[in-house]
Amino acid sequence: MRFEKAARSTGQKLTVQQYAPLPLVPKDPFGLVQGLMLVPLLIGGYMSSTLLLAATGKAAGRWRAAQLAGFAVVSGLVVDLIVCYWLQGFPSSKFWITWPICSLIVAVVAFVAAILQKLLGPIGTLVTVVVMILLGNPSSGGASGVPYLPAFWRDLGPYLPPRNGYILLHHTIYFDGHGTSRALINLLIYLLAAAVVLIVLDLRRTEAKVPTDASEAAAMAVPIGAVP
């Protein structure tokens, strides 16, 4: 009614155009796939940093950021292929736009995990799991919808990557990207800030290589010829 009054007062003709969102696919009649996609993306993010730490024995390196970014691109593609074409969880017309979003989510989590592992050591992985999985995933709203979350989770979600990643995925696939500006900006801020911090830490803070095998650790701690 307000629009009609405004149109009359200005002497303009009111034109109403209905917007029809992209129909849900038969295998996802409730639109829950985007929330479920978050789990492998979040796990893939912190696992990439953890596996790289185990492989190199160091929590940082000159090319750590580039290696994590490369893994994010590949893992985002894998998740996108599986969900789109194998599970048919969303329309194939959205495959290409979904790929960079998946990779962005993985990269953000991987960079944050690498920073925490650099600063806190092995406990940094635990902190990443608590923040991204135990706190971030429930507050994303992917399973029940953001409006139906309890107040604590609803208020916490906007400050963590999972909620922003879910909104970016869901609104891009089904609403042509409407209402995704804030989520995209938040994720890009996370990504750029974490990348800068990670690169600075890699360049300025040196660390001794951490032995990844228990026998190597024992050999370093026990004098030659002694029995561990």
Domain extents in the chain: 37-202
What does the radius of gyration of the chain's CA atoms come to, in whole angstroms?
Answer: 22
The tokens for 14 are 């009111």
pLDDT reported for residue 55: 80
pLDDT of residue 227: 36
- What's the pLDDT tens digit per position in 102-127? 999 999 999 999 999 988 888 999 99
Could you tell me which of 35, 159, 156, 143 has the C-alpha nearest to residue 89?
35
Contact between residue 116 and residue 128 where contact means Cβ atoms under 8 Å apart: yes
| Per-residue pLDDT tens digits for 114-172 | 999 988 888 999 999 999 999 999 999 888 888 889 999 999 999 999 999 999 999 99
Q: Residues of the chain with pLDDT > 70: what percent?
A: 82
Query: Which tokens sit at 227?
Result: 């029995």
> Does pTM surpass 0.85?
no
Condensed to tens digits (0 to 9), the pLDDT of residues 2-49 reads: 767 776 777 777 677 766 567 778 788 777 888 889 999 999 999 999
Rounded Cα distance between 79 and 203, Å, is 32
d(CA 113, CA 195): 11
